[in-house]
Amino acid sequence: MMVQAAKTRSTEEPEKKSSGRSIDPIRSLVRHWKLAAAVALTVIVLGVPFAWIKGKAKWRSEGSMFVSPRFLRNLDGDSENELQSNQQYREFVQQQVRTVDRYDILKEVLTPGTPAAKYWFLRNESMEHAVNRLRGALQVTPVPDTYLVTVALEGDGPDGMANVVNSVLRTFIETSRRETLYDSVDRLKNLAAEKQRLTGAITKLSDERSDIANQLGTTVFNESMINSLESQLGASQSALAEARRNRFAAEATLGAKRGSQEPSAGTLALALQEALGDASLNSFKNALTGRKAQLMVGMSGLSPQHPERIAAEKEIKAIDRELEAVTLATRDRLAKNIQTIDEAKLRQSTEIEDQIQRETEALHQQIENYSRGYQRSVDIGDEIDRLRKRVEAVEDRENFLELESKAPGFVRIFSPALTPDEPYEGGRKKLLMIVFAASLLLGLAVPVGIDFMDPRMKAARELESHLGLPITGWLPESALVDPAYLVRAAVSIRRHAKQLRHRVLVVTAISHGGGSTTVSLGLGLALDRLGTRTIVVEANPLTSDVRYQGKGGLEGLISWMSKPTGERLPVTLGSGELPDRVATGAGTIEDLLPVERLLPLFEREADAWDLILIDAGPLESSLATEELIRVFGSVLLVVNSQIDKKKDVTRCMEKIDQLAPEAFGAVLNKVAEPGPLFKNGKANDDVSSVLAP
């Protein structure tokens, strides 16, 4: 619908919508084919050498070892050395992963004369350099959700890699078994000392908790228990908050005039509202109003200089002054009563708040003393539980060490490395295909992305989403003055023509070349064919359009405004292609000001036309256009999809919001025709043949 309440947009944010922009890859590719070709060629030029280098074949040899979460059973009992949690096991696995490439282990692997050393050493390479190079090449990785750790080595050929990997696995497992030896005697002594220390700490904490229990008069300490004092404090705080809100409300009612003899503005407003409802005052006002009506009827038809009219006007002014005085007196009397009541409420709420505040502070002090002792007892209980668990762990460890015997260890080889039969990575053909596919995709994506990121309004749905309102209509890029594309706008304007102030609609564009003249003439022709007598008046001295000029060389709007009021509007009668119209004529923007002069001139032409369309200058550069919108209270904004950006539309909408027109509409001009694959959902809605001449 074309007519919208202009204040709605200024006071309420539009609902967040999608951009409304459609995607047409074919049109984007045709429009930016040179850029698409350059992007595709660049990808090919850079990608082919990359594919040739990275396509070189790589070989990989991999072995695995099994990391058990426990030792095998001991001969002397059923106790087993276990990793008690998943976290401990994961940490143990990470330790093994970081130990595999330890310097001393790899140095033993590369002992001169071994198969691994013969394969790995380079000519004239030192031991330190060879070990560091092997550390960087080894890939030690835990296998997720299994007990396996893989050790792999990559190279340019398959020979010799399996010997190196298997040698690393064997050397690591042998070293791990040698290091898994326990100093049982010293460990048992340390554990006994730790157990004695923990037992003494538990005894000391138990004595402290007993003393606190005697002071508080309770033997149960549980964090889930509810303190009765806290319940009382909660109720007291709620009452205090309610009392404070009541005091705030009383203070807000009194306002800035608290303590003053003069009532506040809010009090005066409330007193005035009650005074206006006073029966005696209304009766008195009705009598004076009746007298005023009699005087106005009596002076109707009298000239301004008539003595009776002058006397009646004086009496009317006296009646108005008396009405105002009586109303203000009644208001002041009621305001003083209201202020007295509000001050009493404030004193009462303040006293209640102070009393509750004192009670709350006392409860705070009691709860603070109780909570400190109670919380300390709870903490002591938690600490005792923790220490007891620690004692149990120490005892378990002592039992385990007493029964421990030599065990094979945690780690063993699961599968040795084998010589690879084929490369695991590489292949120039595959990478070249990826490069060519990427060139085609980027060659298409870049033009589409450029069009999609274009800040200009390209589609009707995009403009609607930006405005937060449905637009009135749109014109395609190739349209000149085709009323068929404006049938929806014409029908909407015709439906609301009687609601327009003075039956005048101001049509303006954002900037020069926006197409307001094309839209105005098209709308005028469409409205004529719908049966609405319409005239299009050009009010743009900046760029006058030749289509407004008639064959007879009639004078324009500016010269008509300067002539006596009896002159008729210099109308150029419409033809089959153009409606009835009036040119601007010679002059400047200042010649159109003040635009209020048009009101009586248009009123005189009201019988001849049902609707007047004013083709005004661009809103951003024409003061006369702003004045026309302000005076006539309506605007139809023409947005050019080829030049107008979102920030331009936003800037114009801010200016329109300041002018606060009663009716607003928008037309998107020069819209690119959608492609055959991706069409705007509203592309065919406004194209109709119902306006056949």
Reduce the secondary structure of 14-46 to three states and give it as a string. CCCCCCCCCCCHHHHHHHCHHHHHHHHHHHHHH
Q: According to the model, what pLDDT value does residue 183 have? A: 55
Tokens 């008396």, residue located:
322
Q: According to the model, what pLDDT value does residue 509 have? A: 92
Q: According to the model, what pLDDT value does residue 128 have? A: 92
Tokens 């007993």, residue located:
210
The whole-angstrom separation of Cα 536 and Cα 498 is 17
| Residues in Cβ contact with 567 at an 8 Å cutoff, skipping those fewer than 6 apart | 560
How is the chain split into domains, by residue range? 23-56+426-452, 59-182+408-415, 228-403, 456-671
Residues found in the chain: 693
Looking at the structure, give the CATH architecture of the domain made up of residues 456-671: 3-Layer(aba) Sandwich (3.40)
User: What is the DSSP code (8-state) at residue 684?
Assistant: T
Tokens 């303040």, residue located:
350
Q: According to the model, what pLDDT value does residue 642 have? A: 84
- Fold assignment, 59-182+408-415: Alpha-Beta Plaits (3.30.70)
- Which one-letter amino acid corresponds to residue 435? V
Output the CA–CA distances (angstroms, integers) from residue 581 to 514, 546, 666, in the order listed. 20, 11, 22
What are the beta bridge partners of residue 644? none
Instruction: Please give the angle made by the CA atoms of 676, 677 and 683, to the nearest 5 degrees.
Output: 60
Which residue ranges of the chain lie beneath pLDDT 70?
Answer: 1-22, 55, 71-84, 177-186, 216-230, 233, 253-278, 281, 339, 400-409, 426-427, 478-484, 550-554, 564-566, 673-693
Residues 275 and 330 sit within 8 Å (Cβ to Cβ): yes
Which token pair is 611? 């609707």
**In 3D, which of 461, 523, 477 has the Cα closest to residue 670?**
477
Which token pair is 369? 């003393």
Which token pair is 306? 């008539």
* Domain 456-671 in the same topology as domain 59-182+408-415: no
Q: According to the model, what pLDDT value does residue 480 have? A: 52
